[in-house]
Structure 1
Amino acid sequence: MDVREPARRRALQALSAHVPGAAAGTVSELGHGLDNAAFLAGDLVLRVAEDGHSVRREAGLPAVVAERVSVPVPAVRFAAEDTGVLAYPLLPGRPLLGRQAPAGLARRMGRFLGELHAIDAAAVDGLVPVEDADPGEWLEDLDGPAELLRILRDGVPPAAARRVLAHADLGAEHILEHDGDVTGVIDWSDAAVTDPALDFARLHRDFGPDFLAQTLHAYGGLPDADDIGPRIVFFARCAALEDLAYGRDHGRSDYAQAAERSLGWLFPS
């Protein structure tokens, strides 16, 4: 049986409960990643959490964020806690995974992160967890080439002293683009009050060091600039190995190829 079939059934169950009559049609798969699967029913995205994540708590976050940032985020239609399904109208565009960044994206993402990280943590109290993002813990279950793992173990940076509201999974697969414009940032299931380096790390992984430099410039400076750099690189390296293993283990060549490409700038010889 297709491992995604249970997720499809949960999506249909939630759709039937919250949009009567809609489940008579079919749902098509939009994509799946490490933590979620997404399906489309008409113009409604049904994102199914695969780890028991509390979608009801997550449902309150986009409304807080949308008022304060310049990039669209999903507007939640309903959250079905019993099935782990979060539903929102489809945003235009498609993910940037495996594609080149359009001109101006780094500046746009720098501005977006400046806005996001400026949100008072009190505004999302109870909606997202507070996490330390201890770099050492990222190595516990990480798999990959022995030499690259050795490099990571030999250079674990100290944990951050500063925390902000972060998306915390801001990879290319969660950035939507259409006609050269950013049309949305999706999948806020990992959002937390945590180390800001996490939001720069996956941009570094997916788009490279020049993109990162432009993003940081548009961000407007960091109060802990001397400390955050090593954490950005460390988290980017870990995230690349994580995606490499996921892509190879689950037949996702898009993830594996993107991760392999990033190793060139993350682990220069």
Structure 2
Amino acid sequence: MADDEVVALYDEAGQVSGSAPRSVMRGRNLRHAASSVVVRDPLGRVYLHRRTTTKDVYPGLLDLAAGGVVLAGEDPALGAVREVEEELGVSGVRLEPLGVADYADAHTRYRAFRFVVTWDGPIRWQPEEVSWGEWVTVEELVRRFDDEADSIVPDSVAVWSQIVRGWHADRVPLRQGWDSVTTLVEQRWVDRTARRPEVGTALLAEAVLLPAIADGLPLEVPRPVVLDREPLRVRHVVVPGEAVDPARLTSADGEVFAAFLAALHATPLPLAADAGCPSAVDDHAGRAAQVERFRHVVLPLLPPEHRATGEALLERVGAVGEQALCHGDLVTEHVLAHEGRLSGVIDWGDARVTDPALDLAWALNATSPAFAETVASTVDDDTGARARAWWALAPWFDAHRGATYPEAVDGGDPSGVLAHDLEVVAARLLSWRERDDGA
């Protein structure tokens, strides 16, 4: 671009009032217009770049926006398209307009036409304009606004600060689980951080496993990416849908769910191992340890008439046979529906190699008859029986947690919560015994 290009001049009302060579505009600090384009990636990070030391204003400083002066006779939107392509190689995607802002200091006075664009392609620097760049989170950008303001061009901070801080503030806590803290970000992404150090291993495994298997599954699943390492935070695009109503699930839903499980359980085990998921060997050790914990903590708390059935159940689930990659926690809140049909499966923190019947426990025992019967028709009798055993075992986890960590019980009287959990354990045992003669 010519050094003395002719630029449009703007008056205080934001209207074109004439034109002047760029050198005159700079020398006299005439009010003009400029495009200002923030580039974000599909996970919401912002591209922060360093201006070359040859720039005629703010040389060598960091900038969160690409852009430049609006030329005489040029539509500001077209100027924005031109500038972001020239500076960063971003092209062929829609720029979203975010209004205008005015800026003035001793170096420059202009009306900024703001745009934001999402870009998942390569960044290509214009050598005359950009010397370096990186993707940064919105949190990191706000931190730099607050702690390193002198390193960033002041006009972009002024023009974009309110919007960027709005992005930063747009966070809504979601239903919290035992293992991770989950937050909805800008209504577009889900962030998860580990409540305990060992949960971080599972989050890292998800970030490797799910992108590798997602395309082969008939339901949408998260595709997490590690956003921060210290502390660990993973982010994925929101999976559309709401938790299903089990009573309204249809036979057609059952066909889709069965196809999903068939595809998931056919995942090659080396792929799961490469992702860092608990392995078949871990399953042997894990089941044995879990059975012993339940035997020593939960079983003695049951009424005497239920203990023999409880012992039989522990023997049943402790026996390791068929193994496959499993979700590990398929329950109502983790299966989503959108516009009347199944849409996705979320919360993969328990993904591991184990008994595939575990993934059938909820589907065969806590859903509508039409759905359960359709899913059941795709598995053999032994698998169905194992699924019933896993369903009978499910409340033992809450009872064990309540007995071992009463301080972690949310609200109410911990002893009352534990008593309720034990009642559910006993009811499931009774149902299992009547159905499978487990005692």
Could you tell me the TM-score, scaled by structure 2's length?
A: 0.48
Instruction: Give the share of equivalent positions with the same residue, in percent.
Output: 24
1:181 aligned to which of 341, 362, 384: 341
> Do the aligned residues in 1 keep the contact of 2:249 with 2:371 (CA within 8 Å)?
no
CA distance in 2, matches of 1:245, 1:200: 22
The 3-state SS of whatever aligns with 2:174 is: strand
Deviation at 1:47, TM superposition (A): 1.7
2:191 corresponds in structure 1 to 46
**Pair 1:36 & 2:168 matched:** no
SS, match of residue 215 in structure 1: helix
- Quote the RMSD (CA, aligned, Å): 3.6
Q: Please point out which of 285, 294, 302 is paired with 1:146.
A: 302
Quote the offset at 1:209 in angstroms: 7.4
Number of aligned positions between the proteins:
248
Match of 1:94 in 2: 242
SS in 2 for 1:198: helix
Amino acid at match of 1:50: R
Give the Cα–Cα distance (whole angstroms) in 1 for the partners of residues 221 and 422 of structure 2: 25
What is the letter of the counterpart of residue 206 of structure 1?
A
Seen in structure 2, the aligned counterparts of structure 1 residues 59 and 18 have a Cα distance that, compared at 3 Å, is: farther
How far apart are 1:211 and its partner, in Å?
A: 4.4
Q: 2:283 aligns with which of 119, 132, 139?
A: 132
Between the aligned partners of 2:401 and 2:338, the Cα distance in structure 1 is 27
Tell me by how many angstroms 1:38 deviates.
Answer: 1.2
The SS at the match of 1:242 is helix
List per-residue Cα deviations over 1:6-46 (Å, max 9, x = no partner): xxxxxxxx862499856631421111122223111111111
Contiguous gaps of at least 5 residues in structure 2:
1-136, 144-163, 435-439
State the Cα distance separating 1:189 from its structure 2 match: 1.4
The corresponding residue for 2:139 is: 16
Does residue 198 in structure 1 map to residue 364 in structure 2?
A: no
Is the 8 Å Cα contact of residues 95 and 176 (structure 1) preserved in structure 2? Answer: yes
Normalized per residue, the structure richer in strand is: 2
Residue 123 of structure 1 and its aligned partner are, at CA, apart by 2.5
Partner of 2:393: 238
Does structure 2 retain, via aligned residues, the 8 Å contact 1:208–1:262? no
TM-score (norm 1): 0.75
For structure 1, the 5+ residue unaligned runs are 1-13
Q: Which has the higher contact order (CA 8 A, sep 6+)?
A: 1
Q: 1:58 aligns with which of 197, 200, 206?
A: 206
* Aligned 8 A contact 1:135 1:235 in 2: no
- The whole-number CA distance in structure 2 between the counterparts of 1:70 and 1:18 is 37
CA distance in 2, matches of 1:214, 1:262: 27
15-24 vs 56-65, greater mean Cα deviation: 15-24
Query: 1:161 deviation in Å?
Result: 2.3
> Contact between 2:219 and 2:343, CA under 8 Å: does it hold in 1?
yes
Rate the CA distance shift 1:179–1:241 in 2: closer, same or farther, 3 A. Answer: farther
Contact persistence 2:392–2:428 (CA under 8 A): no
Do 2:396 and 2:425's aligned partners in 1 also have CA atoms closer than 8 Å?
Answer: no
